[in-house]
Structure 1
Amino acid sequence: MRVDRRAVRGRVASAIEGVEIPRPFDIGEFVRRLSRHRGRPIHLLPVELSPASGVRGLWMATGTEDYVFHEVGTSRLHQENTILHEIAHLLLDHSGNGHLDEAQARLFFPDLDPQAVREVFGRSAYTRVQEQEAELGAAALWDLIGRRLIADRELEPSAAAAVDRFGEVLGQPDAR
């Protein structure tokens, strides 16, 4: 099944409509504003993940809060992209058809009983289409935020702020 890029972008844009984008952009402040907009807390939780796990991030929702786990042992840019990917799952209201297995429970909550974690969070595994939508959703968020994801390049915060300001003044080419 082919994912409709415009439809995903529209859903993401609608979901963040009214959320003021912080300038210069700061992922933590953006998530705080999104949390207030949605009326439920979103917690960003950095965790150390094994490269062998293949997991870089995870979104879990409870009845009242959302938790976004992301890899701490990577670049800031990669962390931000992972967070935006998980936020895209959240904004697109994805639910899956699987569960949090014992290895994943131990990975994200090493000090807790894996069975208890699985019962509380019951994470869903996403379909291939949902993963494609989350990737497109993250790209849409980067665009809506007004920054481009530049592979293999990370700017210091002051330089990123300057690039953001130039982008605001000069405008960004329409990549759609």
Structure 2
Amino acid sequence: MAAELRLPQPFSVERLCQIVAERRGRELILHSLTRATQAGEQPPLRGLCARTDRADFLFFQDRTTAPHRDHIIVHELAHFLCGHTIFVLDTPPDRPTDDQLVLGAVHNMLGPTGYSTVQEREAEMLASLIFAPATNPVTPPSAGMLGGLEAALGYRRRMIEEFGPS
């Protein structure tokens, strides 16, 4: 699945969100979980995806580092991409204060376990597969005759496999 997904170059989580929304044919709205909690309180979840009849919603923890926040968002996108069961909300969060109502409803639906561990592992694996080429880009082949020779001999591929990208 990660191979068939055209990752944006250069990679950006924002552009990946647009790609997933286009692929699903639905608007994707991102909400910070921080807005839904009291000042100084940690959100009960790191991330969550839900849908209504009009849009998909992705809630994410933003009281963390930027790379961790991006990983949370990509993990939640992976649930959409894998076709996992997505929580259906009767009332979309149209106003910022609605986030608290939505999180309360979702938290009640989740119970103590949330997604199955199989779905969580799948989403985590896909998120890692998406991030791997984004964070470790392959060095482009050499130009001209040298590039042709490298390709014919598999030199570049072997060097990258053995020593990593330069």
* TM-score calculated relative to the size of structure 2: 0.61
Greater CA radius of gyration, 1 or 2?
Answer: 2
1:79 CA drift (Å): 0.8
Matches within 5 A, 1:3-152: 11-14=1-4, 16=5, 19=6, 21-48=7-34, 50-51=41-42, 53=44, 55-95=45-85, 111-112=97-98, 114=101, 118=105, 125-143=114-132, 146-148=133-135
Can you give the 5+ residue segments of structure 2 that lack an aligned partner in the other structure?
A: 90-94, 142-156
Identical-pair percentage: 25
| C-alpha distance 147-65 of structure 1, shift in aligned 2 (>3 A) | same
CA contact (8 A) 1:41 1:65 kept: yes
CA contact (8 A) 1:12 1:91 kept: no
SS at match of 2:32: strand
Higher relative contact order (CA 8 A, sep 6+): 1
Alignment partners' CA distance in 2, 1:29 and 1:62: 22
CA contact (8 A) 2:50 2:88 kept: no
Alignment partners' CA distance in 1, 2:2 and 2:11: 18
* TM-score calculated relative to the size of structure 1: 0.58
1:99 CA drift (Å): 9.2
| C-alpha distance 22-12 of structure 1, shift in aligned 2 (>3 A) | closer
CA contact (8 A) 2:20 2:77 kept: no
Q: After the TM superposition, which segments of 4 or more aligned residues of structure 1 sit over 6 Å from their partners?
A: none
Give the total of aligned pairs: 132
Cα RMSD (Å): 3.7
